[in-house]
Structure formats: C-alpha cells, structure tokens
Amino acid sequence: MTDFARTRALFDIPEGMIYLDGNSLGPLPVAAKERVAAMLADEWGKHLIKGWNAAGWMNQSRRIGDRVGKLIGAPEGTTIMGDTLSIKVYQALAAALDLNPGRQVVLSDSGNFPSDLYMAQGLIGSLGRGLELKVVEPEAVADAIDETVAVLMLTEVDYRTGRLHDMKALTAKAHAAGALTVWDLAHSAGALPVDLIGAGADFAVGCTYKYLNGGPGAPAFIYVAPKHLETARPALSGWLGHEAPFAFDLDYRAGAGIDRMRVGTPPVIALTVLDAALDAWEGVSMADVRATSIALCDLFIAEVEKRCPDLVLATTRDGERRGSQVSFRHPQGYAIMQALIARNVIGDFRAPDAIRFGFTPLYIGEKDVLGAAAILETIMKDRLWDRPEYHRKAAVT
C-alpha cells in the first residue's frame, strides 16, 4: 500500500488549511523551492546561455514529457511538454483533422471544458472548409458517433460534475466508425489510472498544474499515438518543431516523432518546478490512489448529505464512473464557497451553482474530509454564507 503519510509531507500546505482544490491548482511541492533556487543560482546564474547545453534545458521538454507519460500509459517518446493546454488542444485537433480529411464533423459534449470548444470553433473558422462542431449531451456521445465524424474530442472527466467517460469504449466506437480521438486529461492525469495505449487513443493533451502540482500556469503536454508520430502535421509550425531548429532554414520541415509537436522556447523555470513535483509520484501506485480517492469521495458525499440536506449532489454516486472530485449544487453556491474559504476550507465554485471539491490522496485524508463536512454543516445551518462580503464576485471563482 502506498504510504500517503510520506507523500503528504512532500507538500507545503499551510497549517490549519483543508485544501480540497487540487483539481484546480495543486499545492507547492516542498522540493520545488530548493530545486528552483539551485537552478537559478547554479544553472542560469553560472552558465547563462550555456545552460541550454550544459544544464540540459533543451531536452527538458522530452525528458519530463516521458515522466508524465508514465502516469498516463504512454510509452517513451510519445509525450512532450510545452505551451498551454489550449495550444495543445489546437495542435491535436488540427493534426487529427488533417489525418481524416474526408470527414466534416468534430464531435464533443456539453461537459467539455469551454476552452476546448473555443479552440475547436476558432480552428474550424480559420480552416473554412465546411467543418462543423457538433456538441451533444454527455450521455448522447456514443449514439452520435457515425460515419460523418472526423474527430471525437472529449475531456475524460467533466470539470463541473466529475462524470467519467469510458475512454476505451468510446475510442473503440469512434475507430469502428472511421473517426479519430482527442482526449483532454486535465482532470485525469494524476487523479486516476490512464492507459492511452490500452485505450487506443490517437491524441491526448493535459495540464500539469492540477493533480500533477506543477504550479500556476505550469506547461501542458501533448501525446501522439506511435502510429501517428511521423505523419501528424504540426499546424503550429514553431521553430523548435523544425527538423533542424538551429539551421535557421526559411522553410519549415517537421521534426522527427514527438519533437514536431514542439512550438516555442520551453519554460525552463516552470519545467524545473514540474520536474520536482513529479518526484512525489516515485513509489506511488495509481491503483492505490484511485481506491483511496473513491473512498474519500464516498465518505464526503455521505457526510455532506447527512449534515447538509439543502445541498444537491451533482456528482454520480458510483465511484467507478467519476473522477477524483465531488460537486454539490445550491442557488447560493458562490457565497457558500466564499464562507468555506474564509474558514480555511479551500474548494472552488463553478457557474452557475456548483461548489466543487477535489480529493487528492497524496495529501488529503479522512480527517480533512470529516473536518470540511463539519465546517460546511455549520455554514449551512447558521446561514453564515448570507453575508454581503461572501456575495461579492472576485475575478477568479
């Protein structure tokens, strides 16, 4: 059994705080402070420009991509870091559409993260070749897969409700209909076991600032299935995706394999933080993470429903069909969450009415769950949320 007491000590969580928002931003890894300080002093400080070679900065994207790949069932050489998640969605969808030129429909669902849909809308508008984005309810996805679909683009875990798609089954159905798949793993990587090879996924993308604890704005990743590595066209043909970046040719030639999905200069400091954060996964069993996550979520659901009858569960009770988060609905959800945050229980709010909590066994245990439920009970019973300061909307909710 994974020693979660050991992993909890690897994170710098303020004393007295119950942090249930790792599905939005993971906490600071203790090791990251020293690692970044050393990088600044010993690499950038001493090597300056020589650091690209002497400190291995240029290879960071590939090396750390392979570390992330181990957590998502991806073989070496199929995952690379860089840029933001929206950029990686654009890259993956553009490449998938190019590989399936005879089809006109990008199929997604209303539970997808809006940014993914925005990127699809923008790409389709730019291509101007009669492509269509078709958005259906999550439960209708399987039935909507037909011979018109070029690409099935889904987020595996719904960011609002935690509902979990069956990646393997939907990918198989898409392939049987002649479609390709793009999976967003933003709420999957580090939260539950992912097997991209076993599922047959064509492309996958994800961020690293949530369950992988890479820090605010940490770089995203993109995965390309081995069978597509040499044929996927990089629509964003940045200089580091070139076959020979330092030849400075005026014409673009895609690099070999996953390197073609590089775009611009890698964020070395941010990648250093992520590299330190990934050390926490050494010796951790994803099966243990998943089993403990389900148990913590089940406990939270039971406690909140017992204590807070005015809250309506928005997440499935079936642990096998959800990610590592739980959401409840209430018309005053925003104010309720602000009251919780004021009492050092950190979750977040998702419009229009969902209060959302993430459960990360690496640093969350039963004591946190019971403590959060008790504080929520007090807020609801005494209507502590109904104060003017809790109703004022901040820029980030």
DSSP labels, 304-331: HHHH-TTSEE-S-S-GGGB-SEEEEE-T
Residue in the block written with tokens 């392939």 = 175
How many other CB atoms are found less than 10 A from the CB of residue 262? 27
Sheet with 105-109, edge to edge strand ranges: 79-81, 221-224, 203-206, 180-184, 149-155, 105-109, 132-136
Q: Is 348 a catalytic residue?
A: no
CA distance 216 to 210: 9
Q: Among 158, 184, 202, 259, which one carries the catalytic annotation?
A: 184
Among residues 4, 19, 159, 209, which one is catalytic?
Answer: 209
Helix (H, G, I), strand (E, B) or coil at 149: strand
The question of whether 387 is a catalytic residue gets the answer no
Residue 397 C-alpha from the chain's centroid: 18
Please confirm, yes or no, whether 143 is among the known catalytic residues: no
From the list 4, 113, 363, 390, the catalytic residue is 113
- Judge whether 173 counts as a catalytic residue: no
The Cα–Cα gap between 104 and 97 comes to 9
**Cβ atoms 303, 369 nearer than 8 A:** yes
Residue from 160, 163, 210, 262 carrying the catalytic annotation: 210
Among the listed residues 11, 116, 356, 390, the single catalytic one is: 356
**Catalytic residue flag (residue 184):** yes
Catalytic residue numbers, as ranges: 113, 184, 209-210, 356
